[in-house]
Amino acid sequence: MLVIVAPGQGAQTPGFLTPWLEDDVFASRLHWLSTVAGMDLAHHGTVSDADTIRDTRVAQPLLVATALVATLELFPHPSDGYSRVGAVAGHSVGELAAAVGARAITAEQAMVLVRERGNAMAEAAATTPTGMTALLGGDRDEVLATLARHGLTPANDNGPGQIVAAGTMEQLEALKADPPAKARLIPLSVAGAFHTEHMAPAVGHVARLALSVSTHDPRIPMISNKDGQVVHDGRDVLRRIVGQIASPVRWDLCLDTMADLGVTGILEMPPAGTLTGIAKRALKGVETFALKTPDQLDDARAFCDKHGEGSLIDVTPTWRMVVSPAKGTFHIDPRAFETDLLAAGAEIGSVASLRDRLLVRAMHGGQVVEWLVEDGDPVAPGQPLLRLHPEGAEL
């Protein structure tokens, strides 16, 4: 199974777009997204220095636009991706690119949202002096206990031995003076404490804009940063992306879900390297491909052909499928099983895993056509559970 991932802020480096812009089609598409974003992304990806592209207001649109245009280079026709990609995920702001790849929102909607997201997060960061520090190594429980003692948030949990703490500069100084044993601290050059309560004002602004965004249910399973669940409702995808501005990135749980899916290959969109590096440490035996320059495209396509199996939910229209959010054992709700017509939002059952028990709802409702699992069946993330037909439509 192939998973495509999009990196988050910090992956950008000066001049990384230079080789890509030698392609006139790539340049034209980037110019279109630049127009939507209201800034010259080609300039920032080729000429701007490290300090300029570190600015949240620049970095976020630059990263999302790059991933979107590079995806079209890799899969010129969307159907090419649907037949090969088993799941998508994005780290932090990369989730917006992943949502476009899954066809939950459009590229233009993503660029408006990322423009406003970057501006709002920069404004929120300017309110109070805050920052972030990476902790490498150490005992996980001790690291988390130390952060709690200092009032810090584990803003990015990137997997074994890599947690990013966020909070006020005073809290980070206290952490420096009293670190967890055997953990190496690396202060990050970022504008503020992203993915913490300090970003709450940005959530409110982006949430108001999101009310006017039309969504579609993903054509490819999308793995959420919030909890590693596979999300199959377009509105839920958008809600999670907005709320995640002020909540931790649980990339460790996303990696767990990839393992549950049986991933064999992970391809990271440019500017690549960060997420494939994490995957090499966390998912032993899984092949990775970091797409950094256009001269790798032929090899990247071959990598996709090797690992691509397509999405389980692409075999039928997604508006009439309810899928599992996680790996576990599915238990059917008797009330749902005994009815032929489900209301929107009706519970159809739950998935019990080692971590928790997750309710599963038929977000759109409709006429029950076919149960695709039985009570007590083991299920995988994104596995179809129930086929529905819209109420009032002809079967």
Percent of the chain with pLDDT over 70: 96
Same domain, 206 and 305: yes
Residues 87 and 210 in one domain: yes
Do both 304 and 239 map to the same domain? Answer: yes
Among this protein's residues, is 92 annotated catalytic? yes
Assess if residue 394 is contained within a domain.
no
Token pair recorded at residue 192:
């503020």
Peptide bond into 325 cis (omega under 30): no
Whether 115 and 136 share a structural domain: no
Q: Given 290, 312, 334, which residue is the final one in a domain?
A: 312
DSSP string spanning 235-252? HHHHHHHHHGGGS-B-HH
* pLDDT number for residue 364: 85
pLDDT for the residue 313: 63
Task: Please pick, among 91, 195, 205, 232, the residue that the annotation labels catalytic.
Answer: 195
316 pLDDT higher than 60 = no
Quick one: average pLDDT of 52-62? 96
138 and 275 fall within a common domain: no
Task: Give the C-alpha separation, 87 to 312, whole Å.
Answer: 10
Note whether 211 and 102 are same-domain residues: yes
Give the tens place of pLDDT for each residue, 70-91. 999 999 887 788 889 999 999 9
Q: Residues 106, 225: one domain? A: yes
144/109 same-domain check: no
Q: What is the pLDDT averaged over residues 207-236?
A: 94
Identify whether 183 is part of a domain: yes
Q: Please tell me whether residues 14 and 101 are part of one structural domain.
A: yes
Residue listed under structure tokens 């429980």 = 141
User: What pLDDT shows up at residue 190?
Assistant: 84
Query: Tens digits of per-residue pLDDT, 24-43?
Result: 999 999 999 999 999 999 99
User: How is the beta sheet containing 287-290 ordered, strand by strand?
Assistant: 230-231, 222-223, 85-90, 2-6, 265-268, 287-290
Specify whether the CB–CB gap between 334 and 375 falls below 8 A.
no
What is the rounded average pLDDT for all residues in the chain? 94
Q: For position 158, which CATH number holds?
A: 3.30.70.250
> Is 56 part of any domain?
yes
Domain of residue 381: give its range.
320-389
**Mean pLDDT, range 47-70, rounded to an integer:** 96
**Across 93-104, average pLDDT:** 97
**pTM of the predicted structure, to 2 decimals:** 0.90
- Model confidence pLDDT, tens digit, residues 328-337: 999 999 999 9
Name the strands in the sheet holding 130-137, side by side, starting at the edge strand that comes first in the sequence: 153-157, 162-168, 130-137, 183-188
Report the CATH number that the domain containing residue 50 is assigned in CATH: 3.40.366.10
Domain boundary residue, one of 259, 282, 312: 312
Domain CATH number, residue 334: 2.40.50.100
Question: Residue 97: which of 66, 132, 127 has the closest Cα?
Answer: 66
Is there a domain that residue 157 lies in? yes
Domain termination residue (choose one: 188, 206, 233): 188
Q: Does residue 394 have a pLDDT over 50?
A: no
> What digits encode the pLDDT tens for the residues 148-173?
999 999 999 999 899 999 999 999 99
In a domain, 46, yes or no: yes
**In a domain? residue 204:** yes
- The answer as to whether 395 is a domain residue is no
Point out the catalytic residue in the list 34, 92, 247, 311: 92
Predicted pLDDT of residue 163: 96
What is d(CA 214, CA 196) in angstroms, rounded to the nearest whole number? 27
Give the model confidence (pLDDT) of 347-393 as tens digits.
Answer: 999 999 888 899 999 988 899 999 999 999 999 999 999 999 877 54
Q: Which residue, 243, 235, 241, 233, is CA-closest to 212?
A: 235
Residue 315 has pLDDT above 60, yes or no: no
Residues in the chain: 395
Structure tokens given for 266: 């992970």
Question: Annotated catalytic, 48?
Answer: no
Q: What angle do CA 350, 354, 356 make, to 5 degrees?
A: 50
In a domain, 41, yes or no: yes
Tell me: do 150 and 240 sit in the same domain: no
Number of domains in the chain: 3
DSSP one-letter string for 338-370: T-SEE-TTEEEEEEE-SS-EEEEEESS-EEEEE
146 shares a domain with 31: no
pLDDT grade for 309, boundaries at 50, 70 and 90? confident
Query: Could you tell me the pLDDT band of residue 234, with boundaries at 50, 70 and 90?
Result: very high
- Tell me, yes or no, whether 14 and 103 share the same domain: yes
